Amino acid sequence: MRWMPLLALCALSLFTAARAEDGYDLWLRYQPLEKQVIARYGAVGTSVVTGGHSATSNVTRDELVRALSGLLARKVTADDTIRRDGTVLFGTPANSPTIASLKLPLEKLGREGYVIRNAAAKGRKIIVIAGNTDIGAMYGAFRFLRQIQARRPLDKLDIVSAPKVKLRLLNHWDNLDETVERGYAGSSIFNWWELPDHVSQRLTDYARANASIGINGTVLTNVNASALILTPDYLRKAAAIADALRPYGIKVYLTARFSSPIEIGGLKTADPLDPAVQAWWRNKADEIYNLIPDFGGFLVKANSEGQPGPQDYHRSHADGANMLADALAPHGGVVMWRAFVYSNEVPEDRVKQAYSEFVPLDGKFRDNVIIQTKNGPLDFQPREPFSPLFGATPRTNMGMEVEITKEYLGFETHLVYLGTMWQEALQSDTFVKGQGSTVAKVVDGSLFGNKLTLMAGVSNIGADRNWCGSIFDQANWYAFGRLAWNPDANAEDIAGDWVRMTFSDNPAFVKPVVAMMMASRETEVDFMTPLGLAHQMGTSGHYGPGPWIDNVGRADWDPVYYNRADKDGIGFDRTPTGSDAVAQYAPPLAKTFSDVATTPENLLLWFHHVPWTYPMKSGRTLWDALVSRYTQGEASVHAMAATWARLKPYVDARRFAITADFLRIQERDARLWRDASIAYFQSLNGLPLPAGMAPPAHPLDYYESLYFPYAPGQGSPNRPIRPPQKAPDAIPPLH
């Protein structure tokens, strides 16, 4: 195809261009740069040279050739030696004498770091991309391409980078029947039926995208796990995926259902202290590594929301995790043990439980175990304080799990950039070793000297052509990778890179879009759960407002449990007069959060139950401030939609349209959230709205009657289908 006559190629492009912008290419579009940028780059990228011959070298070379050909709109060739100015040389000191001779500062960069420099070799000006391994060089190549995609100078390159976090993993909540729990982008990309006999091209493109942002592992299966994945035929399927991902430095991990020895092993127990159980897992690990020599390890959700676990046998989480860790240790595998556990009995405060469960176990886990803790103590809410587990277990490896898929943030149809949310969590100061003891330093291991470190992101990826269900949700996948590589990276810089790579370098576009993204999470908080509220979503689907819900079946799944609103006030008292969850934070923070006056207002109702008349810093009452927040949130969505409409000239029609449509949905939903929340709280407190604020469009019972059947991605085979009750419409129509 590459050698077709020029005319034919051009004609072809007339057609393919017409459907090119479907989002499949993500931030790796490699469209031609502006003429003046290409001119400025001069001879750079004329040819690509490597001394490597590994699968990784090959895919790196192919990526550079493909990318540079596209970006620079010229024929770029792979060459076997340096012949021209502008050659891009990549490799390692071991496979390239030229790289070895350059004495690059590679010592401290480990196996994944890289150096990018201008250099002279064989009488030519070249660009050298070097790592200690082919994987490092590959990461360098993607970093170099980002430099070009963002139109940055290439004449004074001196980039040195290595990841601060060892395991940078996607967690797929993908089921073996190809549904995706909390997925909003179609079915799973893992076609278990066709695997291992056919491996889709999509898996290679998935690997490319992940490699480009430094993701080095992927958990293929849902934490609500099926034991079937550990049967021989499914392991062969997983091995075929591992083979496809391996050249890109991505290891495969699986979720281990704790009761597997019973369900597929024929044992009577899964007790982690039972020798037969231990032997079963050792044999299973041997079997897995025989098929997948570089298998990463297990992710486990145990004794949480009905999943089996060691507590079924009166053993501790450490007993369970260590048993699996011992089975994996001979092969170099790890266990990621989720801290997201809460009792089947409803306790006084659900957010305290992970801490209560794991802090006493500090120091009892094997070296190849890492506890995987959600960023906040509850469950991926639009805003939570950071989880107090970060910093509380100095002798335990502690990784962070964030949710890339927007389970609680409007699914694929709301525009919410999560980089700011994760940055907020990572830059939170735990104070456990004095000021500056940020969560990021726990996660990157520097605070306590952990070697095994982890950032895990619950994937938002599905078989939709655009991968994520929306174009802007691609930014969250992208930002996750960048922050996992460097938890101290800046969310705004990341957004800027993503916009330039995905859309355009035009400042008239980049500036307003980045501004929109940067404000988007706060906007979502404002119209959903302002001032520290949480878990106010409709139950099960987690879409749409439900602050009145009080009948889910257990108290701590009910929104009323979290808002505690009544005639007099609102909020959850977590001070010593209440649940005392504040005591789980280091003393300086516990003090700050215990005092309603020093608690940040954006977390006010998380920590305090306060009267509706409580005076805010602005001088307004809490009620007035709350209504203003909701109203502000809605207004901000309208502003986003207006901004996007104005940017139409800078975007292709397809990606403009899907984003515009989704922003209209978000406008409707923001209004719905605002009105429903105000209607409910007003029904309790009977207070008038602040002057100038519009009343809800409908009475409360209208909002209470709305339902959202078939909300996608719930992943349950038995989704509740409620027939329409009072309201004629499931969702208010836009038109």
Query: Residue 695 is encoded by which pair of tokens?
Result: 């009343």
Q: Which residues are 458's β-sheet partners?
A: 171, 403
Q: Which residues lie below 8 Å from residue 54, measured CB to CB, with a gap of 6+?
A: 134, 247
Between residues 69 and 621, which has the closer beta carbon with respect to a second copy? 69
* 662-681: contacts with a second copy (CB under 8 A): 662, 664-665, 668
Between residues 305 and 661, which has the closer beta carbon with respect to a second copy? 661
Candidates 53, 55, 74, 152; binder of a second copy (CB under 8 A) is 74
Work out whether 505 is an interface residue with a second copy (CB under 8 A): no
Burial profile 579-595: b = 16 or more Cβ within 10 angstroms, e = fewer: bbbbbbbbeebbebbbe
Work out whether 55 is an interface residue with a second copy (CB under 8 A): no
Between residues 271 and 412, which has the closer beta carbon with respect to a second copy? 412
Minimum gap (Å) between residue 283 Cβ and a second copy: 13
Q: Is 194 a catalytic residue?
A: no
Residue for token pair 């602005």: 618
Distance CA 328, CA 711 (A): 39
CB atoms within 10 A of CB 732: 16
Query: Residue 384 is encoded by which pair of tokens?
Result: 């939570």
Between residues 201 and 435, which has the closer beta carbon with respect to a second copy? 201
Peptide bond into 196 cis (omega under 30): yes
Candidates 81, 120, 177, 618; binder of a second copy (CB under 8 A) is 177
Secondary structure of the chain: what % helix, strand, coil (to 5)?
Answer: 40, 10, 45
* 279-338: contacts with a second copy (CB under 8 A): none
Between residues 644 and 662, which has the closer beta carbon with respect to a second copy? 662
Minimum gap (Å) between residue 221 Cβ and a second copy: 12
Candidates 155, 233, 550, 595; binder of a second copy (CB under 8 A) is 233
Query: Residue 362 is encoded by which pair of tokens?
Result: 């500090």
- The stretch near a second copy (CB under 8 A) out of 418-426, 577-585, 672-680, 704-712 is 704-712
CB atoms within 10 A of CB 612: 21
Candidates 1, 39, 597, 691; binder of a second copy (CB under 8 A) is 1
Distance CA 484, CA 659 (A): 27
Candidates 55, 73, 555, 642; binder of a second copy (CB under 8 A) is 73
Candidates 79, 178, 362, 379; binder of a second copy (CB under 8 A) is 178
- The stretch near a second copy (CB under 8 A) out of 338-346, 366-374, 461-469, 517-525 is 461-469
Annotated active-site residue in 379, 601, 652, 667: 379
* 259-278: contacts with a second copy (CB under 8 A): 263-264
Distance CA 417, CA 406 (A): 10
Minimum gap (Å) between residue 15 Cβ and a second copy: 4
* 614-653: contacts with a second copy (CB under 8 A): 652
How many residues are given for the chain?
A: 735
Site string for a second copy, 393-422 (x = CB under 8 A): ------------------xxx---------
Minimum gap (Å) between residue 47 Cβ and a second copy: 15
Work out whether 198 is an interface residue with a second copy (CB under 8 A): yes
Q: Which residues lie below 8 Å from residue 375, measured CB to CB, with a gap of 6+?
A: 384, 386, 387, 400, 401, 402, 421, 422, 425
Between residues 31 and 632, which has the closer beta carbon with respect to a second copy? 31
Candidates 151, 202, 246, 364; binder of a second copy (CB under 8 A) is 202
Work out whether 463 is an interface residue with a second copy (CB under 8 A): yes
Annotated active-site residue in 305, 488, 595, 701: 305
Size of site (CB under 8 A) for a second copy: 87
- DSSP-derived secondary structure letter, 469: S
- Strands 297-300, 251-255: pairing is parallel
Give 643's Cβ-side CA count (13 Å radius). Answer: 21
Q: Is 305 a catalytic residue?
A: yes
Annotated active-site residue in 134, 326, 407, 704: 407
- The stretch near a second copy (CB under 8 A) out of 70-78, 295-303, 377-385, 607-615 is 70-78
Minimum gap (Å) between residue 16 Cβ and a second copy: 4
Candidates 153, 449, 553, 728; binder of a second copy (CB under 8 A) is 728
Between residues 20 and 583, which has the closer beta carbon with respect to a second copy? 20
| DSSP one-letter string for 434-468 | BTT-BHHHHHTSTTTT-S--EEEEE----SSTTSS
- Strands 114-121, 124-131: pairing is antiparallel
Burial profile 39-61: b = 16 or more Cβ within 10 angstroms, e = fewer: eebeebbbbbbbbbebebbebbb
Work out whether 15 is an interface residue with a second copy (CB under 8 A): yes
Is residue 118 helix, strand or coil?
strand
Distance CA 314, CA 148 (A): 57
Minimum gap (Å) between residue 406 Cβ and a second copy: 13
Minimum gap (Å) between residue 295 Cβ and a second copy: 18
Work out whether 32 is an interface residue with a second copy (CB under 8 A): yes
Query: Residue 197 is encoded by which pair of tokens?
Result: 């006999």
Candidates 587, 615, 688, 709; binder of a second copy (CB under 8 A) is 709
* 207-226: contacts with a second copy (CB under 8 A): 226
Q: Is 107 a catalytic residue?
A: no
Query: Residue 170 is encoded by which pair of tokens?
Result: 């996607």
Dihedrals phi, psi of 279, to nearest 5 degrees: -65, -40
Catalytic residues: 305, 379, 407
